[in-house]
Structure 1
Amino acid sequence: MAITPGYDYDIFISYAHVDNSKFPGQEEGWIQLFFQNLTIMLDKRYGRSGEIKIWWDNRNFDGSVVFDNSIEDGIKKSAIMICLNSPGYIQSDYCRKEVESFKNKAENDNVGLIIDNRSRIVNVLLNNVPFEEWPTELSGTTGFPFHDSKEKDFFGNTLEVNSVEFRKEMQSLRDAIWQLLVQFPKGESTAVTEKQGESSEKTFKIYMGEVADTLRTPRKRIIYELEKKGFDILEGVPPPFDAESHKEKVAEMIAASDLAVHLLDSIPGREIDGDPEFWYSQRQTQITLESEKPQLIWLPSETDISKIEDPSYRTFLEGLESGKVSQKAYEFIRSSKSSIAREIIAYAKQLEAKRKNDFVETEQLKVLLDTHFTDQLHALNLSKMLLENHIQPYINPQEDDPRKNINLLGDRMSQVKKLIFIYGNVSKEWLTERMSAALQLIVTNDYPIEDFYVYMAPPTKNDTDLLINQKFLKVNIVNSSRDVVINKGVLAKFLVDLKAQKL
């Protein structure tokens, strides 16, 4: 199933087969390379391989082939359509029928054609096609220019796949598609009902406790950020305001949540009706401490507890920070208001990953592929091989600066035991710096990484090209750089090593 609820496919790619024609010496056509790049970039954005489903037809048709059932079925079961607009597309009755069929389907399902001012039909321009020649279904869209035309009347050439301009447009397209995917209504059964016998995972629920007036605006912003990430937020207590009813309602909310978050300040906020010795924010924190529910407590980094006037509230905060207020293990964080949303998201994702492991993945080995943009095709091919052998690959986004995306790298490292670095076209200096950053994260955060692997992809390299002197973790070299296609013997040994359990 796709990640979009109610659909078998997240994306349907509609294109003219003439645009996938290969020039002499080419092994793959432009459309196929576009599909591969889009797949990798969305996999990286989602963080896992093979979860985002893209339908595209790679059969070679001529004009005599009718609009067949498999294509019509793919359109009906897809959440988004990407139209690769070109003269070939406009001339194709086949393509026009695809986009017309999708538009009619989308306008009549429960979601509609437009989501938050975004059309579910995405217009990708392979050439500077005049607006008046576009299919009518694309009217109202601006389009993503995958061509080099800078002038209104210049037809332009389709961008080369290995160009900087292509990469920039792919990033813009990825971000737009991702925004569409996450804005789909959660839990809507719009196109295809859930298959009988399949389980659906619960949405991760976060209880946001009451705050002082000084934190109401930051709290609203944090809730907005959490909801954008797909978390369900439980809030709105008080009411009730009286002490006993308030306690019962908070306990009910805590029981229904997967994580409770309490934002505290130097000012405690409103006193409880009928119990003026306590404040709502303080009491809700205490009620959660009495439960076994995971709990995150935050205090502004600039707060000087010693200067708080109320002695009982001062003692309460001192006890929280020292850990003496309860035997329960909880997260106590001091940071700025601008960073607290990231802190909550990172902690929630760790808890969510553990829950998912218990839910469906207890027997499946998970590994993290860390790759630079220039090696993402190698990462895609290796991911497919791992999935075929019942190993779940996660993919980490890359940057030219190997020290960037470190927080995201750490978050994903917390979910796996094996870390694989792809070493193909990227420089050795980038790779070693990236490995050093990962090692520092492991030592600092006690992540459960057991093994480092360096997967050598083409061009040809020797095992001795990479010498790393460190004693904390053994670095395993897997050299498949001499073969364009992954060597079966190398792969078999690699799989045995990955699946071996540490004693």
Structure 2
Amino acid sequence: MAYVPGYEYDIFISYAHVDNICFPDQEDGWIKQFYQNLNLMLARQFGRMDSVKIWWDTKKLDGSVLFDDSIADGIRKSAIIICLDSPGYNASDYCKQELGTFRDSASADKLGLKVGDQSRILHVLLNNIPHEKWLEPLNGTTGFPFHDAETADDFGETVETTSPKFKAQMRHVKNAVARLLEAMKTRCEAPAKLASQTTKLAADPAQAETADDDAFTIFMSEVPDTLRSPRKRLIAELGKRGYRVKCGIPPPDASDALKAATEEAVAGADLAVNLLDIYPGRELVDQPDLWYPQVQTEICLQSETPQMVWIPSDAEFADIEEGEYRNFLTAVEAGKLVDKQYEFIRGSKSSLAQQIEDYAQQIKDRKPAEMPSDGRMSVLLDTHEKDHLYALDLSRLLVQKQILPFINPQEDDPLKNLEMLGNRMSQVRKLIFLYGNVSKEWVKERVNAALQLIMKNNYPVEDFFIYVAPPHKEDADIGINQRLLKINMIDQSDNPDLNDAAIEEFLKELRMPA
């Protein structure tokens, strides 16, 4: 399934065969390396190897081969096309047919040839081809130069795939593709969402909730009168953003049903939001020494549902006359009311909707991913850019063996992107750290960072694997001693060619229960 709904493929790569022929000192052609880099960079961007579907034809096509109906069908079912432009591309009738087929198909479909200000045709220039020589469908596109020409008259050579310029331009292409796919996905999903989701506004807007049962559900507890109008606006805003809001449960005069009804409502929510002020709010009718917002917040905080507690940024506890309520707010802010973590915010009413949405997104990212419908195991492959091609091959082999690999993006600093690492760790039970061309210090930092995240957030990770990839390493080259988890060492540093025999033992251990 493609990332963009309604399409079979997200990307069709159109190129001339002559541009993929290897030089004598190369193992892979330039086009194949472009594809491998793009595939892995998008996998890192979206988190898993099969998030974005890319079609690129490996057949050696030339002018004597008829335009294949299956190729034409793949083009029509692709969300975007990337044209790798060169003299060979311009001279190929086959490439011209691919480009023309996509242009005609995209122009006629529901999104059109442009999404906002972005063309669905991405133009990669392997040489400095003058604008007047561009093929007609490429006019108006922004070119991504992958050549070393320094002047307008310089033809330029295609840059090496190991060069800094290649890597920099690949990031630009990846970012453009990601933005375009996100925009297309949003537009494709909007009509279905609009048709399936309606907002039911009761006489009391506090009862508002969206009709989509699959929507992220927020329970909003009772508030003092000073916050009733802000809460009314907040519920309407969250409804517009696609959230299902539950509140007004139970009525303030039903203290005997308060605990059970609140617990039931919170248990069915993905997030509970508690808005408090220095004014305690209404008292319970049959227990006038208790305030309804405080009692319901205390009940909410005892649940397993993630919680957010908000008070105005200018709230001064010293101004609170009721000592019990002042002690309650002080304990909530200090995190001493209950033995659990929750989000506490001092903020403004104007930014509250965005703060709730930001926290909701964190919860969505932390949720364990559902087991794929085909029953595949999910693992996280943590790797450095220096080992990305090996990681790509390993990921493909895992997919073939019915294992779904999530890919973690990483920079030179192993302590960066920890939030992204944590989000993806929450979705798997097994972590694989790839130790190839990076230093052992980098791997140790990553392992330590992962252990800290597990202890802090109680992630469900059961097994650590350090997969030792080429080049060759001595047996005692890396050792990590810790007691929290067993670390499994898989040494494949003398096996540059990935194949079934080389990693059979690794797959066996990977599938074993912790």
TM-score, with structure 2 as normaliser: 0.78
- Runs (5+) with no aligned partner, structure 2: 191-211, 254-261, 283-287, 348-353
Letter aligned with residue 76 of structure 1: R
Matches within 5 A, 1:88-487: 88-186=88-186, 188=188, 204-207=215-218, 232-234=242-244, 259-260=270-271, 262=273, 264=275, 266=277, 289=300, 294-299=305-310, 306-307=317-318, 309=320, 311=322, 317=329, 332-334=342-344, 342-351=358-367, 353-354=368-369, 356-357=370-371, 360=373, 363-486=375-498
**Any idea what the Cα deviations from partners look like across 1:193-214, whole Å, max 9, x if unmatched?**
xxxxxxxx99652548699599
Q: Displacement, 1:145?
A: 1.6
Cα deviation per residue 1:246-286 (whole Å; 9 max; x = unaligned)? xxxxx9xx799862453746478999xxxxx9xxx969976
Q: Which amino acid aligns with 2:78?
A: S
Q: Distance in 2 between matches of 1:416 and 1:79?
A: 30
SS of the residue corresponding to residue 391 of structure 2 reads helix
CA contact (8 A) 1:450 1:473 kept: yes
Max Rg structure: 2
Rounded Cα–Cα distance in structure 2 between residues aligned with 1:284 and 1:139: 65
Greater CA drift, 146-155 or 15-24: 146-155
Amino acid at match of 1:441: L
Structure 1 partner of 2:259: none
Note closer, same or farther for the CA distance 1:130–1:438 as it changes in structure 2 (3 Å cut): same
Q: Any idea what the Cα deviations from partners look like across 1:93-133, whole Å, max 9, x if unmatched?
A: 22122111111111111122211211111111112211111
Greater relative contact order (Cα < 8 A, sep 6+): 1
1:198 counterpart residue number: none
Q: What is the rounded CA distance, in whole Å, between the counterparts of 2:219 and 2:157 in structure 1?
A: 52
Q: 1:472 to 1:289 in 2, by over 3 A?
A: closer
| Residue deviations 1:406-433 (CA, integer Å, cap 9, x gap) | 1111111122111111111112221122
**Alignment-mate amino acid for residue 481 of structure 2:** N
Which ranges of structure 1 fall in alignment gaps of 5 or more residues? 191-200, 245-250, 272-276
CA distance in 1: counterparts of 2:156 and 2:28, whole angstroms:
22
Kept after mapping to 2: 8 A contact 1:265/1:303? no
**Counterpart secondary structure, 1:184:** helix
- Output the CA distance in 2 between the equivalents of 1:233 and 1:416: 26
Q: Cα distance 1:324–1:486, how it changes in 2: closer, same or farther (>3 A)?
A: same
**Between Structure 1 and Structure 2, how many residues are aligned?**
467
- CA-to-aligned-CA distance 1:451-484 (integer Å, 9 cap, x gap): 2111111111223211222222222111111122
Counterpart CA distance in 2 for 1:381 and 1:285 is: 53
Pair 1:101–1:306, CA change in 2 (3 A): same
SS of structure 1 residue aligned to 2:64: coil
TM (normalized to structure 1)? Answer: 0.79
Percent identity over the alignment is: 41
Work out the CA distance in 1 between the residues paired with 2:246 and 2:118: 31
Distance 2:266 2:403 in 1: 34
